[in-house]
Structure 1
């Protein structure tokens, strides 16, 4: 029976996380679902994001997934807790708790971000939805209560990436604008998290405008893919009863709620290799 690990995102960004997960754990089967027809999620209400995310998670479960990763910061911020606490216990009750699991990308990052900072001041670059949710501040407080967290919403960055402008001269204005606004909040920020899975494609631009990258007190820029991948590997070691149910044939399957031609073309950029997707009508 095919029981892949499900990976969900509102669009293409989650492919940067899937790429790192596959690199770290290539033996498992993966089923990726991009809700491209209803993206972006970052500007939508909590309830809308929750309903859309739950619908996609249900579909991944129906396709055999026992474990689903929300490789989307907005979905992790606005939907994960409700799904974990309200939906899973009633949808899939098990003897020792739900026999389906849903994990996000925020907690793995917040569990380690404080270990990178020497000044105790970190910056978060994210979508407006993620910033207004305050999820990063709440979660970081649990693990590093003394850490100061500064946030900057970057509403133009996802459209720049999805329209293929991430390497263009036109991207410089918006990248520099938000970096400058973040750094202006505190000159002592020494760790910056790219809290959106699209943002790694802007990494070269971001490096141009972050001060202190080459100095003695280097600023660290964190992307989420490798952090989430290592966290997942650890999670599966700690939950062998779940790990044993995941099929291991090295298969990768891709679903999109929008055009498969558009998805396949864009996926090459985010995933790093060509894919062939299937259309999903929700």
Structure 2
């Protein structure tokens, strides 16, 4: 494995698969390693220190598997860990490696999705409290009104496969209503958690006409294409055999079932035990 160079994709659980699906469709030739920290999900309610430590452990694990480029397909990790890793860890310990997030590429294009200049942002408590989207969006589009809403129950519902059941409707409607009560001008809602696209069918039932949902998969995939074009020194390192590998810190059989939703055919993942630094098939 060490002779091959893959693009690493990390998420706290299954949500990053929505991003991975878009990336793999747009860039099918590259090798990929997906790593979901399902055993410790959700990240949203953890402290900054805990999220940073968990994210760094997973990023370093991906580095050890031969990934010179890692995508944090997790908004909470991007909000609370990315900058510290980029500024304090990479220059000292991994100068040849790169870690990218999902917040900046989303903020760079979000203005094109609204006509009323009023955007809703729905995310985990960690992402909302960090105010990362407020900062990044206002940097790109100072004229936009950005209204945030935390949705603490959505990731647990998805991670436990309850998002398709009727019980999830209560929390879907609750958080949408809470957001729209804050502003009647919202015409676009950013799903600022890569888990949330799995709730889109239910969300559409409770949204008024004229309000669109913005998922991050295609946005991040387009941004990655641009990044690789601008950084041939990174792109040239990557192995292009079209291989995909999946790893999880949780139950790999459950992971395989959920991953098969995004990647038709049988997904066979390996379970990683970070505490003892080993993995098993």
- After TM superposition, the score normalised by the length of structure 1 is 0.94
Q: Say whether 1:236 aligns with 2:223.
A: no
Q: Say whether 1:187 aligns with 2:189.
A: no
Q: Distance in 1 between matches of 2:38 and 2:128?
A: 22
C-alpha displacement of 1:258: 2.0
Q: Distance in 1 between matches of 2:264 and 2:185?
A: 35
Instruction: Please give the residue correspondences for 1:74-223 in structure 2 after superposition, counting only pairs within 5 Å.
Output: 74-93=76-95, 99-212=96-209, 218-223=210-215
Q: Distance in 1 between matches of 2:46 and 2:83?
A: 17
SS at match of 1:6: strand
C-alpha displacement of 1:269: 3.0
Residue pair 2:176, 2:207 contacting (<8 A) in 1 also: yes
The residue that corresponds to 2:53 in the other structure is 51
C-alpha displacement of 1:55: 0.9
Q: Relative to structure 1, is the Cα distance of residues 155 and 247 closer, same or farther in structure 2, using a 3 angstrom cutoff?
A: same
Q: Relative to structure 1, is the Cα distance of residues 256 and 151 closer, same or farther in structure 2, using a 3 angstrom cutoff?
A: same
C-alpha displacement of 1:116: 1.2
Which runs of 5 or more residues in structure 1 are unaligned?
Answer: 94-98, 213-217
Which runs of 5 or more residues in structure 2 are unaligned?
Answer: 275-281
C-alpha displacement of 1:267: 1.8
C-alpha displacement of 1:235: 0.7
Count of residue correspondences: 272
Q: Relative to structure 1, is the Cα distance of residues 185 and 271 closer, same or farther in structure 2, using a 3 angstrom cutoff?
A: farther
C-alpha displacement of 1:266: 2.1
SS at match of 2:256: helix
Residue pair 2:13, 2:159 contacting (<8 A) in 1 also: no
Note the alpha carbon deviations across 1:175-234, whole angstroms, 9 max, x for none: 11111110111100111001111111110111111112xxxxx22210011110011011
> Which of residues 227, 237, 246 in structure 1 aligns to 2:219?
227
Q: CA RMSD in A?
A: 1.1
> Which of residues 21, 25, 28 in structure 2 aligns to 1:26?
28
- After TM superposition, the score normalised by the length of structure 2 is 0.94
SS at match of 1:209: coil
SS at match of 1:42: coil
Q: Distance in 2 between matches of 1:106 and 1:177?
A: 25
SS at match of 1:111: helix
Q: Distance in 2 between matches of 1:167 and 1:26?
A: 29
The residue that corresponds to 1:215 in the other structure is none
The residue that corresponds to 1:275 in the other structure is 267
C-alpha displacement of 1:39: 1.3
C-alpha displacement of 1:158: 1.1
